[in-house]
């Protein structure tokens, strides 16, 4: 599976703007370790600030730290119109967010 990943967007609006311009960017290969739906409160907090600590990420931290054959282990958030890929690399916030290619 491939995704366009980026670390320097702070919220959903910035991610959508990035998505519109990413045709010239090479996607990276990822593994989805879980597909999740966030509840309204958690989803709103996340979409407004990707760099804030997210309690819902805690169960996935150990699984995400393993990089296998150059593929990042990510979770896929299905609560929005456009599914969001999240990679945290042992942090409680989304170090990288992206969209599937």
Tens of each residue's pLDDT in the chain, 101 residues: 999 999 999 999 999 988 888 777 888 999 999 999 999 999 999 999 999 999 999 999 988 887 878 899 999 999 988 899 999 988 999 999 999 98
Task: State the Cα–Cα distance between residues 62 and 57, nearest whole angstrom.
Answer: 10
pTM: 0.89
Contact by Cβ (8 Å): 22, 4: yes
Ramachandran sector of residue 19 (left: φ over 0; alpha: ψ -120 to 50; beta: rest): alpha
Residues 6+ apart with CB under 8 A from 51: 10, 93, 94
């Amino acid at each position: 599976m491939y995704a366009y990943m980026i670390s320097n967007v702070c919220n959903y609006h910035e991610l959508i703007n990035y998505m519109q311009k990413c045709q010239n960017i090479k996607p990276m290969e990822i593994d989805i370790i879980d597909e999740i739906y966030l509840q309204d409160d958690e989803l709103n907090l996340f979409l407004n600030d990707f760099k804030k600590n997210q309690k819902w990420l805690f169960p996935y931290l150990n699984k995400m730290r393993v990089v296998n054959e150059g593929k990042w282990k990510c979770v896929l958030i299905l609560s929005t119109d456009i599914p969001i890929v999240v990679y945290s690399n042992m942090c409680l916030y989304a170090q990288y967010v992206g969209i599937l290619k």
